[in-house]
Amino acid sequence: MPLSFPDLPTLELFVAIAEAGSIGSGARRVGMAQPNASKLMRQLEAAAGTTLLQRGPRGSQLTARGATVLTAAQALLTQAHAFDSTLRADDDRRVEDIRVAASMTVAESLLPRWMAQWRREVPQARTTLEVLNSSEVIAKIKLSEIDLGFVETPQLPVGINASVVAEDELVVIVSSDHPWAELSGRLSLEELARTPLIVRERGSGTREALEQMLVGCDPVPPAQVLHSNTAVRTGVASGAGPAVLSQLAVASQLATGEVLQVPLDITVPRRPLTAVWSGARIPVGALAELVEIAAR
């Protein structure tokens, strides 16, 4: 009877779910849609002939059999990565050219630190870098025009290779002389929606996340549409109106008081910052090193 080898991406998903405590959180860790993750877990359980995850309203817990399979999966994945390293052992001195693109927030706030560490750890690698909005990064990945991208859009197309490497949240910012700067309580989502805002262009992850946050509130047209975080911050600081930007993108300006944060009366969901790549389902070589550094 022929051997039936396990699917490594499915095992990576299973390990991620076990560590995160739910199928949804595990799916986000490996950059997969939750329905696809649920389907793969059902297939894995069918192959095992038993239940591996006990699903409930508070998440997914390992069954006794699931805990045993988890240990075996972790060991197998460790060996798989070791095998990959063995395959690439003779290529240590080979120069790898990696084409990278990043969305504005990642490029401004996170990528310089990641790239500096990557160059220290992988000195033989070279890279070209583009700064684009999230939809443009994804388009280039689909066309294989870049090898690796970093995006901040909440929704990714099905079938794209992806892994969540960090998280971020949106914050409302105003100038010091804006009426909201003196607000005694918290700003309602409804008032935010009926206020003309300075926003990023369509296709940016920040714009998509804002629109998702305001679903059902019938927002008014924006006051201005600008194509960079810097332009939006400058507009807010000059009194042109409020904006909603990444907390990462305005951390320095909040620290100096150039702009002020206005608290909302809702808990704003954190959004994923995601690595996307073309080619193999599991990244290898210098590309894999950069993804791993970003996720630390």
Contacts 24+ apart (CB under 8 A), 261-265: 261/171, 261/172, 261/173, 262/172, 262/173, 262/174, 262/180, 262/181, 262/183, 262/187, 263/172, 263/186, 263/187, 264/172, 264/186, 264/187, 264/188, 264/189, 264/192, 265/185, 265/186, 265/187, 265/188, 265/189
| Mean pLDDT, residues 47-66 taken together | 87
How far is residue 238's CA from residue 145's CA, in Å, rounded to a whole number?
38
pLDDT for res 5: 64
pLDDT in tens, 71-124: 888 888 878 777 776 666 555 455 678 999 999 999 989 999 999 999 888 888
Q: Which residue has the higher pLDDT, 31 or 98?
A: 98
Q: Is the pLDDT of residue 140 over 70?
A: yes
| Mean pLDDT, residues 195-204 taken together | 94
pLDDT for res 217: 92
Cα angle for residues 226, 197, 225 (degrees, 5° grid) = 20
Q: Is the pLDDT of residue 137 over 90?
A: yes
Give the chain's domains with CATH numbers: 8-87 (1.10.10.10), 93-165+272-295 (3.40.190.10), 170-269 (3.40.190.10)
Write b or e for each residue in 220-240: b if 16 or more Cβ atoms lie within 10 A of its Cβ, otherwise e. Answer: eebeebbebbeebbbbbbeeb
Kindly tell me the burial class for residue 198, based on how many C-beta atoms sit within 10 Å of its own C-beta (0-12, 13-18, 19 or more).
Answer: buried
pLDDT in tens, 200-216: 999 999 999 999 999 98
Q: Which residue has the higher pLDDT, 184 or 244?
A: 244
pLDDT in tens, 141-180: 999 999 999 999 878 887 788 999 998 999 999 999 999 9
Task: Note whether 12 and 21 are within 8 A (CB).
Answer: no
pLDDT for res 2: 46
Helix (H) or strand (E) holding 288: helix 285-295
pLDDT in tens, 242-282: 999 999 999 999 999 999 999 999 888 788 999 999 877 78
Q: Is the pLDDT of residue 192 over 90?
A: yes
| Mean pLDDT, residues 27-32 taken together | 83
| Mean pLDDT, residues 186-195 taken together | 95
Task: Note whether 223 and 196 are within 8 A (CB).
Answer: yes
What rounded mean pLDDT belongs to the chain?
88
Q: Is the pLDDT of residue 3 over 50?
A: no
Q: What does pTM read for this prediction?
A: 0.66
